[in-house]
Structure 1
Amino acid sequence: MRRASGRPKGADSAARREEILAAAARIFSEEGYRGTSMSAIARACGLSQTGLLHHFPTKEDLLRAVMERRDAIDAARTLGADGQRPRGWDFLDRLVQLVLNNQEQPGMIRLYTTVAGEAVDPAHPANAWLVEHHRGAARAFREALLEAGEDGRLKPDAPVESIVRCLLAGMDGLQIQWLSDGEYQDMARDFAVLADALRARWEA
């Protein structure tokens, strides 16, 4: 098929790549990494396996791209309209909104929890991603708390590292409960309770 006049040269390839990543994210979330074959992903995209390998030479490459795409979407949702991360304690409000947004995207939550559950194994191809995912989130939380300290809004004896770990544990743990229990409806509300309790205890 001839490329439409005026269409960017790489647009078709970029669109196909996005289609592959979306299909792979869905299948990884349902079957896990180890239970998913490249041929299954190729079929879901209407591609031959050779065609899929043209875009992603290995399943490891594809998994890495899928998880990086997922993290990029979440990272964009933590930014304000000006493209900047909210400062200090205000960042916690944005995290609550992120949990609420994710609650409306069950496929994204299922992808994260499924792959993360497998990737705790150091030999798993996504282990490096998982470690960096948690470290990156911890850096963002830590920076926000240090900003609160600079603004005189954090108690001097606040256990910054413990607060960071509690926020991470709260986000991950609530997601598992939300996915596994059909009667559990509002994890964003519960994460807001955790965030508000930490802020009430340690805000100066």
Structure 2
Amino acid sequence: MTTRHTDAPARRGRGRPRGPGGEATAATRERIVAAAAELFAERGFHATPMTAVAEASGLSQSGLLHHFPTKDGLLAEVLRERDVRDLAMLATARDHAPRGWEVWDDMTRLVRLNSDRAAIVRLFTSLAGEAVDPDHPGHGWLGEHHRSAVDALARALHDAVADGTADPAVPAESLARQAVALMDGLQVQWLMRPAEVDMAGDFASFVDAVRTRWTP
């Protein structure tokens, strides 16, 4: 859906074991996640057995399960890694942290990027539908994913107000929630009717309308 304009990469690293053993564990987990992402994209989540992920990762089945006991948990990590990579990709567009309307422009770029990767969008929508259950392994990730996106967009509008590029009356939190809801909803419609739904164009039109309405 979206990426995080926060300190996500720094937070993600907390709690990892340090030293040679910890580095080896982190490298193994990264290798598993990379293999799973490729296989899930090629074959689909449900059609990919954990044995295939273990083989692609160069591990035994028990070795894989030591790091990721469930396939749902592995999928959640694949999507978390996507968030981090998306953030890194967007950061290459400029030599400073995005602020104000730039954050909204970055979201538009992200939706356009997603238009070229149906497999990962399908994975996200599938997980999102199941992860509303508090007992689902991806529940915490989904909540943080949405919360961070809304927070980033709302904070960007507050920054725009401070910079004089947005009306002080802008309903920042409401518009941020609408934007995230629109991204998720467009993804489902686009997956159902890819030839008819211009996901990137529709989201860009929404952002343009918000900017036009709330720019002084």
State the TM-score, normalized to the length of structure 2. 0.76
Q: RMSD value over aligned CA atoms?
A: 2.9
Please point out which of 151, 167, 173 is paired with 2:185.
Answer: 173
- Percent identical among aligned pairs is 46
- Deviation by residue 1:104-132 (Cα, 9 ceiling, x = unmatched): 12222112111111111122110110000
Larger radius of gyration: 1
User: Could you say if the C-alpha distance between residues 182 and 89 of structure 1 is closer, same or farther in structure 2, counting changes exceeding 3 Å?
Assistant: closer
Residues in 1 aligned to 2:181 and 2:135: alpha-carbon distance in whole angstroms: 23
Residues in 2 aligned to 1:158 and 1:106: alpha-carbon distance in whole angstroms: 34
Partner of 1:30: 44
Partner of 1:4: none
Q: Structure 1 unaligned runs (5+)?
A: 1-8
Report if aligned partners of 1:119, 1:127 keep a CA contact under 8 Å in 2: yes
Check if 1:130 corresponds to 2:135. Answer: no
State the TM-score, normalized to the length of structure 1. 0.80
Residues in 2 aligned to 1:38 and 1:148: alpha-carbon distance in whole angstroms: 46
User: Could you say if the C-alpha distance between residues 40 and 80 of structure 1 is closer, same or farther in structure 2, counting changes exceeding 3 Å?
Assistant: closer
SS in 1 for 2:135: coil
Residues in 1 aligned to 2:150 and 2:200: alpha-carbon distance in whole angstroms: 19
- Deviation by residue 1:141-168 (Cα, 9 ceiling, x = unmatched): 1111011000112222211111101110
User: Could you say if the C-alpha distance between residues 57 and 158 of structure 1 is closer, same or farther in structure 2, counting changes exceeding 3 Å?
Assistant: closer
Residues in 1 aligned to 2:55 and 2:192: alpha-carbon distance in whole angstroms: 29
Q: Structure 2 unaligned runs (5+)?
A: 1-20
User: Could you say if the C-alpha distance between residues 190 and 131 of structure 1 is closer, same or farther in structure 2, counting changes exceeding 3 Å?
Assistant: same
Report if aligned partners of 1:149, 1:155 keep a CA contact under 8 Å in 2: yes
Residues in 1 aligned to 2:81 and 2:108: alpha-carbon distance in whole angstroms: 21
Residues in 1 aligned to 2:153 and 2:55: alpha-carbon distance in whole angstroms: 40
Instruction: Give, as a single letter, the amino acid of the residue that structure 2 aligns with 1:88.
Output: G
Report if aligned partners of 1:148, 1:154 keep a CA contact under 8 Å in 2: yes
Equivalenced residue count is 193
SS in 1 for 2:32: helix
